[in-house]
Amino acid sequence: MSLVVSVPRPELARDLEPLPDGVEVIVWAMDAAAPRDRIDLVVPPYMSGGNGLSLLAGVTTRLVQGQSIGYEGTAEKLPPGIVFANAATVHETSTAELAVGLTLAAQRHLDAFAVDTRAGVWHPRYAQSLADRRVLLLGYGGVGKAVAARLAPFEVDLVPVASRARDEDGIRVHGIDELPELLPTAEIVVLTLPGGDATRHIIGDAELAALPDGALIVNVGRGPLVDTDALVRHVRAGRIRAALDVTDPEPLPEGHPLWGLPGVLIAPHVGGASSAMHPRIAALVKRQIAHLLADEEPENIVIRT
């Protein structure tokens, strides 16, 4: 069986070598018409891949392999008859690292120390530890579990929350309906949930008001999980702090009130943008190639249009 695979970058093409017999890899950045009428496996560009999905109209394909875990809004951009898989297994490690990094930076004033370093100022500050803090982890999928694993050595009181309550691998996972009872005792809230209507503003004004003074919101999921206007109000009041890899709107425009707001640390949606991504996306694409060659069901299918 012959198999044609398109990838957006020559570097990813090289990462797929050596190729199985019968597999041809071409580079297509999806910024122009498709180079073939048949491309069995299409890998769109990272982060901007949704812009070119309409170019798949008229292309015979067996699988479109996204490079992100999130896929909200993707189905509307795909032509009919497309099977789409997300990139579960690719970004969990890198995103979890950043979640812990943002939490530590906010707790131990590393952002302020970076400013002091540039200014040549010696300004010690008393800090809240990460150890002994009660951490509410909203989302217990791949990223949430990776965050939980990395928080374990920090001796936190971890409270996982998911769509439904359950016991999993000896860990009590609380249901999202328990949030009103859990928030008043949470010192840190880490959000790893996917986007979409079901999770939009899951942390809104009422939820922020329920948190104790000084609580920290860490968002590495999707920006709309948090009501931005409500967050700005609570941060301005000195009640809440935030460390965000994702925002709403995104990118955060110039002059937005979150910029420069004391108690807010912002990363420009770089949770998955590390050297950990490249070998993992290559490994996933290799596995998908093997599945297609064997006429097996691909991994991570989330959309069939």
Residues 6+ apart with CB under 8 A from 174: 159, 160, 161, 162, 165, 182
Is the CB of residue 78 less than 8 Å from the CB of residue 84?
A: yes
Domain identity same for 65 and 139: no
Domain identity same for 96 and 77: no
Buried b (16+ CB within 10 A) or exposed e, 254-264: eeeebeebebb
62 versus 50: the higher-pLDDT residue is 62
- Residue-level pLDDT at 228: 98
Q: Is 222 a catalytic residue?
A: yes
Domain identity same for 139 and 216: yes
- Residue-level pLDDT at 1: 66
- Residue-level pLDDT at 51: 77
Domain identity same for 72 and 215: no
> H or E stretch including 63?
strand 63-65
Domain identity same for 289 and 212: no
Domain identity same for 98 and 63: no
Q: Is 109 a catalytic residue?
A: no
Give the pair of three-digit tokens for residue 228: 């931005």
Q: Are strands 157-162 and 215-219 parallel, antiparallel or unpaired?
A: unpaired
Q: Is 269 a catalytic residue?
A: yes
CATH of the domain at 282: 3.40.50.720
pLDDT, average across residues 39-62: 90
- Out of 62, 91, 234, 269, which one is annotated catalytic? 269
CA distance 54 to 59: 10
- Out of 250, 278, 287, 291, which one is annotated catalytic? 250
> H or E stretch including 118?
helix 110-119
Domain identity same for 35 and 162: no
Q: What is the mean pLDDT of the chain?
A: 96
Domain identity same for 142 and 238: yes
Please state the pTM of the whole predicted model: 0.91
List pLDDT tens digits, range 155-196: 999 999 999 999 999 999 999 999 999 999 999 999 999 999
- Amino acid found at 46: Y
pLDDT, average across residues 213-219: 98
Domain identity same for 167 and 227: yes
- Out of 62, 133, 222, 234, which one is annotated catalytic? 222
Q: Is the pLDDT of residue 59 over 90?
A: yes
The helix/strand/coil state of 79 is coil
List pLDDT tens digits, range 62-120: 999 999 998 988 999 999 999 999 999 999 999 999 999 999 999 999 999 999 999 99
Domain identity same for 18 and 64: yes
Domain identity same for 18 and 150: no
- Residue-level pLDDT at 25: 97
CA distance 105 to 111: 6
Domain identity same for 239 and 291: no
Question: What domain range is 202 assigned to?
Answer: 92-266
Task: Report the domain count for the chain.
Answer: 2
Q: What is the DSSP letter of 91?
A: S
